[in-house]
């Protein structure tokens, strides 16, 4: 943990007196964690001579989805540092998600998390908004060791002495990375949605204050919880996790050598009118929402003698929009609410070509915000809401602004007909990729 990291954080968000915790802050500090969802149990000091095997008491569980580790996958003795197990006569465990460890260190011992991070541990009842007795009993987790769960916005504590930042700074906003991005995109009304085009893509849709029933192929999650006059108000979301989008660009660069820089893909893809019949299903690690098939494998279909590297680049860009349509259509079907627009962020959102393709695939407006660091912005909004920088959600929404707005072609246009035909072809290609590596086949 370096002082420069904290200075960078304060400069980026221009709120040097409020500490805000989100997925981006965690990556800036650089614990080597991919997200705020992994649960870590800190080590006893090495003087005790405990091995990792002795210390790790949790059973291994399957990853929740790409890049996120379930809370009890037992990571441990050498990952975090010398604190995080407390001994009082007998050994007492204190553990939680990465955000709770950060708050512990920043405040000198406040052991809390927020509802968004708690909802990703499989130990939290997202309907009752409390730790689940049933799951804790099932996994033999002592509830006394779990952090207190609080709303995402509020004064959690203040920074302690002996840190590379001043003491007394309020720690006031916590959120998981994708939930923070949804908040940062000001998707405050049911039916509003965002997509983050990163190494993978994550589509989140606000579904309102009532927790929906589980849906095949989608995750149901807490979007955020606000404390309104002492009453918790929770907003829920559907999440569609797409395993590979930007990672396919890396494959073109590092695996095939088609491009020398990730930034080359947009200009190269725009040199052709379409992919020339090529379809790439980038199921390099299986397919996520709505398919959830770990046995799917990547496919490249439709290659001819005339296929060029530009066609392959265009097919990869197409796959980003097509996979997003898969997830959005599943969300619309599950919620019964049609999207009016999609707000986008992440590295690939800089490609205007992708935004045009996405608008025609979905038949709705696509907006890219002026400030595209929406995860950091969402955590900052939550902190600022708690500290009175913004008095309400309306003032935050008023601050949100559009950089690029792309409208779809009219529904009866040839462009939309071609987009629908392309989607039909995409579904045929996906069917060929499914269950490819299944042991029983």
Q: What is the pLDDT of residue 97?
A: 87
Give the C-alpha separation, 336 to 290, whole Å: 16
Q: What is the pLDDT of residue 440?
A: 58
User: Does domain 177-441 sit in CATH 3.10.129.10?
Assistant: no
Q: What is the pLDDT of residue 113?
A: 96
Q: What is the pLDDT of residue 100?
A: 92
Residues of the chain with pLDDT under 50: 1-91
Q: What is the pLDDT of residue 13?
A: 29
Q: What is the pLDDT of residue 33?
A: 27
Q: Residue ranges of the domains in the chain?
A: 3-174, 177-441
What is the model's pTM? 0.81
Give the C-alpha separation, 130 to 135, whole Å: 11
Q: What is the pLDDT of residue 75?
A: 35
Per-residue tokens: 32:
């080597």
Q: What is the pLDDT of residue 93?
A: 66
Look at residue 188 and give its three-state secondary structure: coil
Q: What is the pLDDT of residue 70?
A: 31
How large is the greatest C-alpha to C-alpha distance in the chain, in angstroms? 75
Per-residue tokens: 240:
């569609």
Q: What are the beta bridge partners of residue 225?
A: 234
């Amino acid at each position: 943990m370096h002082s420069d990291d904290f200075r960078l954080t304060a400069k980026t968000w221009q709120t040097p007196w409020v500490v805000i915790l989100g997925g981006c802050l965690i990556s800036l500090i650089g614990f080597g964690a991919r997200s705020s969802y992994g649960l870590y149990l800190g080590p006893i000091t090495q003087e005790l001579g405990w091995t990792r095997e002795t210390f790790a008491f949790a059973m291994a569980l399957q990853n929740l989805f790409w890049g996120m580790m379930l809370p009890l996958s037992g990571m441990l003795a050498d990952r975090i540092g010398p604190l995080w197990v407390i001994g009082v006569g007998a050994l007492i465990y204190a553990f939680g998600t990465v955000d709770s460890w950060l708050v512990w260190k920043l405040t000198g011992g406040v052991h809390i998390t927020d509802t968004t991070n708690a909802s990703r541990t499989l130990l939290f009842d997202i309907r009752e908004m409390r730790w689940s007795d049933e799951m804790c009993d099932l996994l033999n987790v002592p509830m006394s060791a779990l952090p207190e769960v609080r709303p995402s916005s509020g004064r959690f504590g203040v920074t302690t002495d002996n840190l590379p930042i001043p003491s007394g700074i309020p720690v006031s906003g916590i959120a998981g990375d994708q939930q923070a991005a949804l908040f940062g995109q000001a998707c405050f009304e049911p039916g509003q949605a965002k997509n983050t085009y990163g190494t993978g893509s994550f589509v989140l849709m606000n579904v309102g204050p009532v927790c929906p029933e589980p849906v095949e192929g989608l995750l149901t999650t807490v979007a955020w919880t606000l404390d309104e006059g002492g009453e918790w108000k929770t907003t829920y979301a559907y999440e569609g996790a797409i395993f590979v989008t930007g990672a396919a660009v890396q494959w073109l660069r590092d695996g095939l050598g088609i491009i020398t820089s990730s930034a080359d893909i947009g200009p190269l893809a725009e040199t052709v009118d379409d992919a020339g019949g090529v379809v790439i299903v980038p199921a390099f690690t299986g397919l996520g929402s709505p398919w959830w098939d770990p046995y799917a494998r990547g496919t490249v279909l439709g290659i001819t003698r005339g296929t060029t590297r530009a066609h392959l680049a265009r097919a990869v860009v197409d796959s980003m929009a097509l996979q997003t349509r898969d997830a959005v259509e599943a969300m619309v079907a599950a919620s019964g609410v049609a999207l009016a627009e999609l707000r986008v962020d992440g590295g690939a959102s800089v490609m205007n070509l992708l935004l045009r393709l996405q608008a025609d695939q979905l038949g709705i407006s696509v907006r890219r915000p002026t400030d595209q660091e929406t995860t950091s912005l969402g955590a900052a909004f939550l902190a600022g809401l708690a500290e009175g920088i913004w008095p309400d959600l309306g003032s935050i929404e008023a601050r949100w602004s559009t950089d690029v707005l792309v409208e779809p072609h009219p529904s009866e246009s040839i462009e939309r007909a071609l987009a629908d035909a392309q989607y039909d072809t995409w579904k045929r290609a996906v069917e060929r990729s499914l269950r490819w590596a299944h042991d029983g086949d």
